[in-house]
Each structure stands twice: as C-alpha cells, then as structure tokens.
Structure 1
Amino acid sequence: MKIMIIGADGQLGCDLCKVIPKEDQIPLTIKEIDITDPQMTTAVLKQHSPEVVINTAAYHRVDDCEDNILLALKVNAYGVRNLALAAKEVGAALVSISTDYVFSGDRKKPYSEKDVPEPKSAYGISKLAGEFFARYILQKYFIVRTCGLYGVAGCMGKGGTNFVEGMIKKAKQGGVIRVVDDEFVSPTYTYDLAQALYKLIQTNRYGIHHIANSGSCSWYQFAAKIFELTGIKADLQKATGADYPTKAYRPKYSVLASRFGLRIWKDALKAYIDEKKYISKLI
C-alpha cells in the first residue's frame, strides 16, 4: 500500500514514519507540497499515485487564527478541499486530522462521533469546514478528531515544542508555574495515534473517528503527572482559564470518547518520557 504522509517532518508525521513500513511511505514536507495550491497538490498526487493520503498539515496556532482567519481557512479548509479533489482524481482515500475544538466544551461528558459540532473559535470553525469539504467531495475518507497532542519530534507550528517540553523547560528555569485546572482534555501521544491510524487505513471504516488516549485530566493534572514521572521538583500551582484571558475561546471540557482502545494517558506519558530519556536521577 502506497501511503502519502503530508507533513512527514512534523510531530505526528515523524511518528507515522516510524510506524508505517518504509517501503510503503511517500513522506512529503511543506517544501514538497503546498496544499493551498490546488494545481501543485493535484500534480504531486498524480506523480506519486498514492492509495492513501494522510494530511497532518494544519494552521493550529489557535490564538493567531483569530487574527488570521483567512489564513486559517486557506490551510485548514481550502487545503483539505484541494487534497480531497486530488485524492478523488487518483482514487486515493484521504485521512484528514481534525480536532476537539470542533466542540463547544460546554458539557461534562466525553464527545462521541455522533455529537453535533459547535466550534467557538476561528480555528475550530476552519477545521470543521475542512471536515465538510472532505465529506462532500469523497466517499473514501477518514476524518480523525484527536486532542492534546504531544510527540517526540515536537510541534513545528509551536517552535518544535509541546506542552510536556514546555512544562519541563519552565521548571528548569525556576519560579512558580501556574496551570489551568478547569479545562479538561484527553492528552494524546502521537506515537499511539500513529499506530491507530495505520491500523485504521487498512480497513474500509470510512467516516468520522475519535482517536485519543484513554482517560482525561485537567492541564494542571497533566503537568503534575509530568513532574511526578520525571522527578522534577516544580512549584506548580492551580489557575483558572479566567486568570489567562486569550483571544481564542478554549473549550472547558473537550474530552473525546474513543473506541480504539488506546492506553490510558498516564501510561502513554510515561512511554513518551522514557523515549525522551528523562531520567529523574539526572535532572
């Protein structure tokens, strides 16, 4: 199976390249394909003739999306539209990575695929628009919503870092670390997500899927577990979302109900830390 990975040098893309057999991969970076250019996108897919296209490219600086709405729509919606049209032309299935931000977060029950989206940010709206483009253009599509991603490669859109690395860096700098305790998520290790994606694309279970590590926590609880597992002594204190006003609305509860049976987030975090070789006695 020829599998095109768009954003192969990114956080999720790097783990996809670890999971998918090398002989099946067509790894592409932003230098090799610009999904906002429809002619280029079609030409690249025709050149490689993939059976599956996994798109990890996105504009996901959530607050910046509020100031750059057209750019958010160009990448997250129009870009998916271009890929969907190109995939249809070459007969490929499309995997489009979406987000928990398509939901309002105004409840305390995990969101399933059957729940009606109600985004409250430009980012969430742009990602939902991308979902609709994939759905109306293609029959062979996998829309995969996930949440709170972190991976060894780090997020390119966030300077090559992620929440885990950000917490460790702050702790090493010293001082008080205040983290919100009233916003709940399903932190997800990109290696686990990559494994689930690879299994999914080998089926014909087309449609919308939620894939996230099991369980949920607040960002404060996530940070506390990071310091516990690394053995780092940090002055961690609870805060509320109201303490840190942001341009973009943050869902208070965007936990995803996933049927894929990924390990609990605490075990996934430990595996990540082991992979990064954060050994407490060396801290």
Structure 2
Amino acid sequence: MKTMITGSQGMLGQYLVEVFESAGHKVISATRKDLDITDIESVLSFVQDKKPEVIINAAAYNLVDKVEEPEIFELAMKINAKGPENLAKAAQIVHARFVHFSTDYVFDGEKGDYYQEDDTPNPISKYGETKLEGERLALQACDKTFICRVVKLFGNQATGESGKEGFIDIMLRLNRDLPDLKIADDEYGLPTYALDAARAVLELMEKDYCPGIYHLVNEGEPVSVYGFAKEVFEAMGITENYRPCPRSDFPRLAKCPHYSPLANTKFPKLRPRTEALAEFLSNHPSFPRRG
C-alpha cells in the first residue's frame, strides 16, 4: 500500500512513518520542504507524480493561543483548512483514501459527557474553528476521507527545524527548572499515545473501514492536565515541586474546552492510557533505572 504522509517529522508523523514502514508499506514522506500543502498546484503535481493509494495528513498549525491573532489565524486557516482541502482534492483525482487528523477542540466542552463522533461541533477558539473547517472541506472534497480526532497526544519529540517538545518533556523540564510548578486541574480530556493513534490508522487502512469520522483515543477515565502530569511524575519517581491550580491562574488568549473527552464508538478500543504511558516512559531517557 503506497502511502504518502505529510508532516512526517512531527510527533505523530514520525510514528506513522515507523508503523506503516514496519508493516511493509511503501511510504512517501513529505516534509514542509518537500511540499507546501497550501499551494494547490504543488499538491496536485506532487500527488499525481507519486500516485499514492493513501494520503495521510499529519501537518498542522497548533499554537492555540497564537491563532487568536488575526495574522496567525489567516496562516492557520491555510494550513489547517485549505491544506487538507488541497490534499483531499488530489486524493479524489488519483482515487486515493485520505486521512486527516483533527481534535477535541472542535467541541465547546459544555456537554458534560464524552463527545461521540456524530455530536455537533461548536469550537470556542480560533484554532478550533480552523480544525473544524479542515474537517468540513476535506469531507466535501474527497468521498474517501477519514477524519481522525485525537486528544493531547504524547510521544517522542518532533524532529526537523520546528521540532517541538511534547507535553511530557515540557512537564519534566519545568519540574526541574521551577521551584513551584503549578498545573491546571480543571481542563479534562483523554491523553493518547501517538504510537497507538498511528497503529489505529494503519488498521483503518488495512481492514478497509468505511470513510467518516473516528475518535482514536486511549481508554481510561478523563484526566485533567494536572492529573496527567501527576501520572507522569509518579511513574518517574518525582514527588515534589508541583501542585494543582485553576486554569484561570494562566491567562490565555484562546478559550479551551474544559471537559472534552472523546468517545470511540466506531473502532476497536485502544489499550488503556496507563498501559500506553507506562510503555512510553519505560523507554524515556529520564526514566529511573535500577541496578
């Protein structure tokens, strides 16, 4: 299965490349230097030349607060909405399946329960607006589009020129650097291991699931940002220098859904978060070793 992956140097993109190559599929990695997904002519030329059977878009602009700025909102709309539309149009032309990643930020967090795949979105941030528009345009442009919503991914740090730290590395660094680390305890979701999300996408493609919207999340109880950080710290043997606080202690430009766990009702359950986190941390360079 010839598979093209954009954003292949990002956290999720790296795992997608690894998982698909390990399964014996030919992977075409498309970094920002290789392809500008916001340029329709470049996208059509690239895709028609490579002729992939599957196109997976793991590229995104996800600096949530920055997107509230008008100029950055315009840029984010190009990357998060126009880019997926361009890729979906190209996929339609070459009869490929198209996979696009979205987020719980398409919801407002007011439901008070898990969000299912067919719940009506209502983003409360500009970032959420760009992601929802990306979903809409992709589904409209290609009849074999898969929208995969994921939440607070954790995993290995992204590579490339814009390689960002993941949540776990950020928390570990801040715990080292700050004498009193305060972490928001009233914003809940279902953190998910990027490797497990990548494996789920592989299964979606190999087993010929129907196109549509999927929620790919590790199983477990919804957890706050503080609660997840606490799970990490306890596993790493860290007991000091962190405490919970309300998110109002951190003024932000963007509004974030305060309770947005996603329910996976259309795909086999992913493994529990506790198991996935334990596996990831056991291979982390900071994990305490005995002996």
TM-score range, shorter chain: over 0.9
TM-score of the superposition, structure 2-length normalised?
Answer: 0.93
Taking the aligned partners of 2:68 and 2:254, their CA distance within structure 1 comes to: 6
Q: How much does 1:42 deviate?
A: 0.6
**In the alignment, is the contact (CA less than 8 A) between 1:36 and 1:74 conserved in 2?**
yes
Partner of 1:62: 64
**In the alignment, is the contact (CA less than 8 A) between 1:5 and 1:28 conserved in 2?**
yes
**In the alignment, is the contact (CA less than 8 A) between 1:61 and 1:157 conserved in 2?**
no
Q: How much does 1:233 deviate?
A: 3.4
Number of residue pairs matched? 282
Question: Structure 2: 5+ residue runs without aligned partners?
Answer: none
Task: Report the CA distance shift for 1:2/1:159 in structure 2 as closer, same or farther (over 3 A).
Answer: closer
Summarize deviations over 1:169-211 as a string: whole Å, max 9, x none.
1122241111111110100110010000100112132100111
Structure 1 counterpart SS, 2:35? coil
Summarize deviations over 1:221-247 as a string: whole Å, max 9, x none.
101111111112332111111111100
**In the alignment, is the contact (CA less than 8 A) between 2:10 and 2:163 conserved in 1?**
no
Of 149-158 and 72-81, deviating more is 149-158
Taking the aligned partners of 1:32 and 1:281, their CA distance within structure 2 comes to: 40
Task: Report the CA distance shift for 1:157/1:273 in structure 2 as closer, same or farther (over 3 A).
Answer: farther
Q: How much does 1:84 deviate?
A: 1.1
**In the alignment, is the contact (CA less than 8 A) between 1:95 and 1:141 conserved in 2?**
yes
Question: Structure 1: 5+ residue runs without aligned partners?
Answer: none
Taking the aligned partners of 1:156 and 1:222, their CA distance within structure 2 comes to: 27
Partner of 1:8: 8
Taking the aligned partners of 2:67 and 2:28, their CA distance within structure 1 comes to: 30
Taking the aligned partners of 1:153 and 1:162, their CA distance within structure 2 comes to: 5
Taking the aligned partners of 1:191 and 1:155, their CA distance within structure 2 comes to: 15
* Sequence identity percentage: 38
The AA in structure 2 aligned to 1:199 is E
Taking the aligned partners of 2:145 and 2:127, their CA distance within structure 1 comes to: 21
Q: How much does 1:26 deviate?
A: 1.1
**In the alignment, is the contact (CA less than 8 A) between 2:101 and 2:148 conserved in 1?**
yes
Aligned positions of 1:235-250 closer than 5 A:
235-250=241-256
1:187 equivalenced with 2:191 (yes/no): yes
**In the alignment, is the contact (CA less than 8 A) between 1:155 and 1:162 conserved in 2?**
no
1:280 equivalenced with 2:288 (yes/no): yes
**In the alignment, is the contact (CA less than 8 A) between 1:14 and 1:153 conserved in 2?**
no
Partner of 1:211: 216
**In the alignment, is the contact (CA less than 8 A) between 1:7 and 1:57 conserved in 2?**
yes
Partner of 2:258: 252
Aligned positions of 1:5-154 closer than 5 A:
5-21=5-21, 23-67=25-69, 68-154=72-158
Taking the aligned partners of 2:211 and 2:29, their CA distance within structure 1 comes to: 23
Taking the aligned partners of 2:123 and 2:178, their CA distance within structure 1 comes to: 36
Taking the aligned partners of 1:159 and 1:243, their CA distance within structure 2 comes to: 28
Structure 2 counterpart SS, 1:276? coil
Q: How much does 1:17 deviate?
A: 1.4
Taking the aligned partners of 2:161 and 2:64, their CA distance within structure 1 comes to: 10
- Cα-Cα RMSD: 1.6
Taking the aligned partners of 2:143 and 2:26, their CA distance within structure 1 comes to: 23
Summarize deviations over 1:135-167 as a string: whole Å, max 9, x none.
111110100111001111338797520111011
1:228 equivalenced with 2:230 (yes/no): no
